[in-house]
Structure 1
Amino acid sequence: MTLEAFADTIVPGEKRSPDDRAVAGAAEGGGAVVAGAVELLETPATGLAPALGDFARLLNRHAQAYAGQHGLELDPTLPPFVALSFPHRTALVGVLTAPGHPEREVWVSIALFSNMAFDTAAHMHTLDAIAAGHPGLASMGFAMPDSDGLWRFSDYSYGRKLASLHPSTTPTGSPA
């Protein structure tokens, strides 16, 4: 729940249900949590998976200290970071990711993976993500592939052709 709240602070989304506490509901539509930020963090490829429990505990200790410094009373039934309001979560994440903070690299890494989950669905095959209505890809208007599962773009992104096809390019698109 704590790492979901962190991811939601990075790319906010709407609550998944009325009693959702991890997602603050600071934005409409799905955010990093619905996009799969925690699922991405849990993959071996991130290199962070074995330490996620430690990071959550550390984040909660920071939240407890932050609450004490700001005279905030936290709901004792929730992890401390989750119990912070969205503006206070945002302020604490700003402190943790600021230049000079000794743990900055950890928190920036988790923030980057939260963005990556939303922007690219890196933990899923792109076709599966599109079929599931992945919120990040949908919000960016990510194009559907052609019927054969490949992406081709009849309109050039710069409004003009940038280069001619190399004469040795194979029919599958590989340079010879």
Structure 2
Amino acid sequence: MSTVSSLDRRAVLKALAATATALAAGQLAAAPSAAAETVAGWTVQTMEAFADTLIPGERRFAGDLPVAGAVSGPGAVQAGVIKALTSPELPLAPLLPEIAALLNTRAVVYAAGRLILLPITSPAFVGLSFRHRTTLVRGLFGPEDPDRVIWQMLSLLTGLAFDTAAHLDTRQAVTAGHPGLAWLGFPPPGPDGLWRFPDHSYGRALAALHPATTPSGSPA
């Protein structure tokens, strides 16, 4: 089974960790709409298919191969996962072809072991059905997989793109109807552009406010 070399694996993990940190910290500006153009088409298709396996969505158009159309509603691809992964402010884009090649190698091995005929006009992973993609990806997260951490980090980034629109300004994302935030019912900000939550999540205050608490909410 082909794997990323030890040196390359470290580089990939370092880039993935830096990307996750930047996205989680909200350090990115809105990614350019053409950001994915810096990555080859088969790499984009492969990463889209991987993201769609984790957070599936409906097809964007007839004949959409990377998106399997396993469910209705938006998924990670519609939420902009490729824009997040290929942001010029992050170090990950140059390594995506190698990650995609690794995933497609795994797909070839998987298909060969099950006598699945893959098309030659699309990446190997894209050529798998959603059921087989899911089975393959499930195995990538097994404790015995040497590249498990890579797939775990990619799944984290996929979740951040859908659940938080981390590659976008949150106010702009909500206003523009970001598919993930809209699907999750993320609330819009107040008139001043800030979020406030007057209702307690448990339906009641759990403790009285300490009289010495500062206006910012910090303890005295």
Q: Structure 1-normalised TM-score?
A: 0.91
**2:150 is the alignment partner of 1:106:** yes
Superposed, 1:58-137 pairs within 5 Å as 58-137=102-181
Q: Structure 1 residues 166, 10: closer, same or farther in 2, change over 3 A?
A: farther
Moved more, 159-168 or 105-114: 159-168
Moved more, 132-141 or 9-18: 132-141
Residues 5-37 of structure 1: CA deviation (Å, up to 9, x unaligned): 000000000000012111000111110111111
Structure 2 residue ranges without an equivalent (≥5): 1-44
Q: CA deviation at 1:97?
A: 1.3
Instruction: State the Cα RMSD in Å.
Output: 1.8
One-letter amino acid of the counterpart of residue 99, structure 1 = P
One-letter amino acid of the counterpart of residue 68, structure 2 = A
Runs (4+) of structure 1 exceeding 6 A deviation are none
Q: Structure 1 residues 16, 166: closer, same or farther in 2, change over 3 A?
A: farther
Q: Structure 2-normalised TM-score?
A: 0.73
**2:202 is the alignment partner of 1:158:** yes
2:92: which partner in 1?
Answer: 48
Structure 1 residue ranges without an equivalent (≥5): none
Q: Return the alpha-carbon distance in structure 1 between the equivalents of residues 185 and 48 of structure 2.
A: 25
One-letter amino acid of the counterpart of residue 198, structure 2 = S
Residues 76-100 of structure 1: CA deviation (Å, up to 9, x unaligned): 1011100100001001101111111
2:13: which partner in 1?
Answer: none
One-letter amino acid of the counterpart of residue 169, structure 1 = T
One-letter amino acid of the counterpart of residue 126, structure 2 = V
Alpha-carbon contact 1:9-1:89 (below 8 Å) kept: yes
Alpha-carbon contact 1:120-1:137 (below 8 Å) kept: yes
**2:50 is the alignment partner of 1:10:** no
One-letter amino acid of the counterpart of residue 96, structure 1 = L
Q: CA deviation at 1:165?
A: 6.2
Q: Return the alpha-carbon distance in structure 1 between the equivalents of residues 201 and 210 of structure 2.
A: 16
Q: CA deviation at 1:46?
A: 6.3
Q: Return the alpha-carbon distance in structure 1 between the equivalents of residues 76 and 143 of structure 2.
A: 24
Q: Return the alpha-carbon distance in structure 2 between the equivalents of residues 98 and 108 of structure 1.
A: 10
- Which has the higher relative contact order, 1 or 2, with Cα contacts under 8 A spaced 6 or more apart? 2
Q: CA deviation at 1:174?
A: 5.9
Q: Structure 1 residues 2, 47: closer, same or farther in 2, change over 3 A?
A: same
Alpha-carbon contact 2:74-2:183 (below 8 Å) kept: no
Task: Choose the corresponding residue for 2:67, options 19, 23, 28.
Answer: 23
Q: CA deviation at 1:137?
A: 1.2
Q: CA deviation at 1:48?
A: 3.3
Q: CA deviation at 1:147?
A: 0.4
Aligned length: 174
Q: Percent identity?
A: 51
> Aligned with 1:75: secondary structure?
coil
Alpha-carbon contact 1:7-1:111 (below 8 Å) kept: yes
